[in-house]
Amino acid sequence: MMKKLALLTLVIGLVGFVNAEQVYRLDFGPADQDLQSGFTSVQFDTPVTIDGADFHVTSSTGSASHMTNGNSAGELDGLPELNLLYDYIRQTSGGGSVTLTFSSVKSATYTLRYWQWVRDIYNVPENVKLQEQGGSVVYDFGKIIKSTTPYETVVYLDSTKTYELVMSDASARNYAYIAGFELIENFDKAHNPTPRPAEDFVSTNVTLEWNTAKISDTEINPDVNKHYLYGNINNAAGDPNMYYITEIPVNGETASYGPITLDYNTTYTWKVEEGIADGAGGTYPPGDPGNIDGYEWTFTTTPAIPVITTDPVSQLVEAGADATFTVSTENADNIDWYKYVDGTITNDTYIASGSTLTITGATAADEGRYFAVATNNQTTDQIQSATARLMTKRLVAHWDFEGDLIDEVAGFTGIATDPNQADGDNPAFSYVTGVNGFGQALELTADTYVEVQNSVDAFNFYPTGFTVSAWVKKDGGGYQGYIGKNDRNSTDTQQGFSLYQQYSNGGVILREAGGLYAPSGTDVNDNNWHLVVGLYDADAGRLAVYVDGLLTGETSVSGSPLENNSPLLLGVQDVNTETGQLYWPFNGTLDEVKLYSYPISDTAIGYEYLDFNEGTMCVDDEGLQFDFNDDCVVDINDFAEFASTWLNCREIPTCLADPR
C-alpha cells in the first residue's frame, strides 16, 4: 500500500495552540519509514529515553506484535496522522493488556493524547487508564473504541513518579493496542504549583506557590495583571467548595500566597485565575470570561499522627555480614527499632533509634523479626511498621531419622499422626534401613505424616529463598507430598511451598495466590533411592528442582510469596485445618530431610548426592567449551583430540581439488 509521507500542519498547530515547553511524542510503528514526523520510534519491550524521560512498552503476556492497518476502505487517507495510525503494537492474545510505562518526565501539567488504532472493519473496545505504578489511578478513559482522533485529557505528572498507561482488552476475546502517544506541557495558564497536585503529607504550615501564565518558552503573558486565588482553605469544616479568596499582584514569573495554617489530614482544592488587562487601563474582575481560568489543584495535609510510608524489607545475609533495615515516615519526630517477642512493645526488645537499623556481623542469634515504631510531639500515638525478618544463610534443619523425629540442627521435634486411627498416639510408621544402606530412614503409610512442633513461624523464612531436600524411595504413583509448609482453607487458596511427587516425577511448588510448579521430568517412582531437591532464589526469581544431583526442571517467579500460618509437615503436602483432609499424603520412605534458608549452589547439591553415592558427577558445563571428549575435565586428552585435527583444511581452492 502506498502511504502518504507528507505531514499536514495539525501537529504543528497543536504545539502552537498549547504553547508547548516540553513535548514527548511516541510512534509505535515497526519501521523508520512509517515514523510520524516529529515522533520517536518505540519498539515493543525496548526502553527508549526522550529528553531524560524513560518509556517502555510491555504486555501482560510477555509478547506483542508490530502490526499495520489494512486501510482497504481508505480510512487513513488525508489524515495528518497517517504514519502514526498506519502501524501499532498489539498484544498477542485476547484478554490481556499492553502497558506503556514512563518515568522521569518533567514535573508539569500536560495534555496527554493517546491514539488507539484504525481498522476498516473492526471496532475493538479496550479499557484505558493512566495510573501511578503501584499506586492510584490518575485518569480513567473508560472503554474506548477505534477513532481517527486521539483520546486526551489534562494531567499533572511528577518527575519523581513512575506512570503506567494500561490498555486492556475490554471483551476478553480481542486484543489491546497502542498506535501513538503524546505529552504536551501546558503553561498558557497559571502552572507549576506547590504543593504538587494530589500531593500527600503536606505540612499544615504551607505557602501556596505557582508560575505565571506564559505565551512562549521564556516569556510570561504580558496581559496578566493580577492573580485571583480561589480555594476551600478558609472554609468551615465539611465545606468542599472553592470560593474567591484574594488577589495577588503579578511580580514576574513566580507568585505565592502564605504561609497559611491548615487542619491536619484534610484535602484542599485551589486554583489561580489569571486577571487579564481589559483594554481600558484596568483588569477584568474575578470570574470574568475575559480572564484565563485556572486548573484545579488538590493536596492533602499530613495526619496529626506519624505515618509510615515505607516498611522495612526482610534481609537474607551471609553469616557475619551486616544487615540493614530502613523505614520511611511522615510527621514523625522519633523512630525506635525493636526485635519482635510477642508484638507488645513493652515486651519486645528495644534495639536502636533512627530511620535505619544496622545489625553488625549478623549471626543465627540475631535472626528474627524487627520493626520500627514512629512517634511525634503532637500526639501520644505509637505507629508500628510491618515486621521484617532477618535470616542468615545456613542449614536450618536436618532430620536423619536415626530412631527419632528430632532435627539435628536446632532440635525441632516431629510428632507422627494418623488421623484415621482411633488412637492417634500410635500412628503407622517405622524406622527402616536408610538411603543406600546408611543408617535408618522413616517409612510412612499413606495416612501417616509428621508435624514439626513450633515450626509455624520458624520456617516462614521461605519468601527470601530456601532449599528443601529429601531422599525418597517409593513405587506408588499419583500426587504425593514429601515435605510441605502449605496453607489451605475452605476456599482452596494457598500460600507456601512443598517438595512433592507428580505421578512418577519429583518436583517443587511455590504457592502465591495459585501455584508455581517446577516438575522434574525424571522418574523417581521405581522403588530406588533418589535425592529430590527444590530451591527458590528470590533475587533471581527462579524456582528449580534437582533429581540425583542434576538440574531437571525450573521456572520463573515474578511475584512475592507470602508467609503462612501452617506448620512444617513431613510425609504430606498439607492438611486442611477446617476439615482435617490430607492433601497428597506420602506412601514410602523418607531420609535425610534438610532445609536451608537460602538457595544452595549446584555444586553443593552435587555433594549432597555424593554423600551417599560413590564416584563423581559433572554438575554443569561452565568453562568446559574445550572439553572435546565430554569427560567434564579440560586436560591433555582434550588437547590431544584438538591436536589430532591440526592443519586440517577444507578450504577451496587452497586445500581441496576441483572434482569436476
Going by pLDDT thresholds of 50, 70 and 90, the confidence category of residue 78 is low
Contact 83, 71 (CB under 8 A): no
Contact 2, 74 (CB under 8 A): no
Contact 248, 226 (CB under 8 A): yes
Share of the chain above pLDDT 90, in %: 56
Residue 174 has pLDDT above 90, yes or no: no
* Average pLDDT of every residue of the chain: 86
CATH 2.60.40.10 assigned to 191-301: yes
CATH number belonging to domain 307-392: 2.60.40.10
Going by pLDDT thresholds of 50, 70 and 90, the confidence category of residue 247 is very high
Span 54-62, average pLDDT:
90
Of 531, 530, 537, the closest CA to residue 516 belongs to 537
pLDDT for 520 equals 66
Of 31, 38, 17, the closest CA to residue 80 belongs to 38
Going by pLDDT thresholds of 50, 70 and 90, the confidence category of residue 258 is very high
The better pLDDT of the pair 649, 394 is held by 394
In eight-state DSSP terms, residue 636 is H
pLDDT for 380 equals 94
| Choices 3.40.50.720, 2.60.120.200, 3.40.50.1400, 3.40.50.300: CATH for 395-610 | 2.60.120.200
Going by pLDDT thresholds of 50, 70 and 90, the confidence category of residue 421 is low
pLDDT for 16 equals 34
pLDDT for 631 equals 86
Measured over all CA atoms, what is the biggest interatomic distance in the chain, rounded to whole angstroms? Answer: 107
pLDDT for 57 equals 94
Long-range Cβ pairs for the range 310-315 (8 Å, 24+): 311/385, 311/386, 311/388, 312/357, 312/370, 312/371, 312/372, 312/385, 312/386, 312/387, 312/388, 313/388, 314/388, 314/389, 314/390, 314/391, 314/463, 314/464, 315/388, 315/389, 315/390, 315/391, 315/464
Residue 460 has which C-alpha cell?
516462614
Residue 395 has pLDDT above 50, yes or no: yes
Residue 3 has pLDDT above 50, yes or no: no
Contact 413, 567 (CB under 8 A): no
* Distance (Å) of CA 550 to CA 475, 539, 612: 21, 21, 15
For residue 342, the Cα-to-chain-centroid distance in whole angstroms is 31
Secondary structure (H, E, C), 462-525: HHHCEEEEEEEECCCCCEEEEEEEEEECCCCCEEEEEEEEECCEEEEEEECCCCEEEEEEEECC
Partnered with residue 140 across adjacent β-strands are 129
Contact 1, 71 (CB under 8 A): yes
pLDDT for 492 equals 52
The model's pTM:
0.74
Residue 117 has pLDDT above 80, yes or no: no
pLDDT in tens, 460-482: 999 999 999 999 998 777 788 89
Going by pLDDT thresholds of 50, 70 and 90, the confidence category of residue 505 is confident
pLDDT for 555 equals 85
Domain spans, the chain: 10-185, 191-301, 307-392, 395-610, 621-660
- What CA–CA distance (Å, rounded) separates 397 from 407? 6
pLDDT for 147 equals 76
The better pLDDT of the pair 640, 12 is held by 640
**Domain pair 10-185 / 395-610, same fold:** yes
Contact 116, 69 (CB under 8 A): no
Judged by DSSP in three states, 36 sits in coil
- Topology classification of domain 10-185: Jelly Rolls (2.60.120)
- What CA–CA distance (Å, rounded) separates 530 from 506? 9
pLDDT for 486 equals 87
- What CA–CA distance (Å, rounded) separates 635 from 567? 50
Going by pLDDT thresholds of 50, 70 and 90, the confidence category of residue 516 is low
- What CA–CA distance (Å, rounded) separates 257 from 261? 12
pLDDT for 72 equals 43
